[in-house]
Homo-oligomer: A and B are copies of this chain.
């Protein structure tokens, strides 16, 4: 967890042009050297919504919350139409593709495995005969 230096205000207070108090709710998560992180969150959610949200959480949950908000905000600025819901769509598409591939691989595998060793020889001989008898 980053903490603001005693001299410089945190990135949030600097952006909002206000004094960074020792109890500032933003300071631990928006260090002065990461101004973009606050700018993104502020632009997408608004500082007052983020303040409200953080105050409703336990202190130990706040860092994860800020980081997930920062990720969502960055994705929304990169893709104003879909934001991180676009990421979810891509992942769901990949999941469905992998599930199809896995189902296919497993059905292929079961053809071999169900045969067993003797079955394999028989099936193998069988395959050799049939196409040639036509």
Contacts and interface: CB of A to CB of B under 8 A. Distances in A.
Interface of A: 43-46, 48-49, 53, 56-57, 61, 64-65, 68-69, 71-72, 76, 80-88, 91-92, 94-95, 98-99, 101-102, 105-106, 108-109, 112, 117-118, 120-121, 124-125, 127-128
Q: Oligomeric state, in number of copies?
A: 2
- Say whether chain A's binding surface is mostly helix, strand, loop, or mixed: helix
15 contacts: A43-B49, A46-B46, A53-B76, A61-B81, A64-B82, A84-B88, A87-B88, A88-B88, A88-B91, A102-B105, A105-B105, A105-B109, A117-B128, A118-B124, A120-B120
A112 B94 CA distance: 27
Contacts of A76: 53, 72
Nearest to A60: B81
